[in-house]
Amino acid sequence: MRKLVAGNWKMFKGPAEARTLCSELADRVGADPAVGLAVCPPYVSLATALAALEGSAVDVFAQSVHWEASGAFTGEVSAEMLLEIGAAGCLVGHSERRQHFGETDETTGARAACALAVGLRVIACVGELEREREAGDTAAVLERQVHAIERAVPNSAQLVVAYEPVWAIGTGKTATADQAQEAHEVIKRILDVPVLYGGSVKPENAAELMAMPDVDGALVGGASLDVDSFVAIRDAAAAA
Ligand code: PEP
């Protein structure tokens, strides 16, 4: 299976910086389909990224989506709106959304269902907190989160799950390749979909993680903000 490497830019890179990064990325990876590639800019930079990446092998995803087509939901963006501008998909349920903006298993499922229904691709994020891992609850937490997604969405070829242990996001701590493999097995027992690993993925650790049989790619935060490191992670995925 072709691996997927997606870059979550979080709240970095407005349109001017997005144009520069995407133009460089398009020059570096062109239309090479060896690895699926996506970037997830902030909403205001989506149109710029789409224009700069047109004709390249890099898809553009949003970082979230609402579950209604329209309505009184200040600050939100609908799946239809993302489709209209040409976005290929969106993230849902990122741990920063869960931690800072009240995202739950249920809202994550609702957002995924709505996006898939209009034809967007979805990367649904799951992962345990440090204290949950220390308490030996990792599998139970993942099962709860993945079952919520499974209940909300039909079996879809457009769905990908990202396993992102919360203690490894933006901390420099990475799950070992064995920890990632074990978690991906738990997820795949419930949903037969590609599973990405996310959590401080860097050029230095990408090859080892990508070599695991159930690691189907990576969701990359910090290291996706730099073209050299993002392309190096993509190269590790291509070689795996
Ligand atoms: C992320 O934002 O999904 C992420 C994994 O971040 P980082 O790679 O910086 O840990």
Distance of alpha carbon 21 from the chain centroid: 18
Which tens digit of pLDDT belongs to each residue from 21-33?
Answer: 999 999 999 887 8
pLDDT at 93 over 90: yes
Q: What pLDDT does 170 receive?
A: 87
What per-residue confidence (pLDDT) applies to 24? Answer: 97
The pLDDT, as a whole number, for residue 189 is 96
Lowest mean pLDDT among 57-61, 83-87, 170-174: 170-174
Buried b (16+ CB within 10 A) or exposed e, 59-76: bbbbbbbbbeeeeeeeeb
3-class DSSP assignment, residue 59: strand
Q: What is the pLDDT of residue 123?
A: 98
* Tens of pLDDT, residues 197-213: 999 999 999 999 999 99
Computed over every residue of the chain, the mean pLDDT equals 96
Closest CA to 63 of 50, 48, 45, 80: 45
Distance 71 CA to ligand 1 centre (A): 31
93 Cβ closer than 6 Å to some ligand 1 atom: no
Residue with CA closest to ligand 1 atom 1: 221
Looking at the CA of residue 171, tell me the nearest atom of ligand 1: 10
Task: Name the residue with the closest Cα to ligand 1, atom 8.
Answer: 221
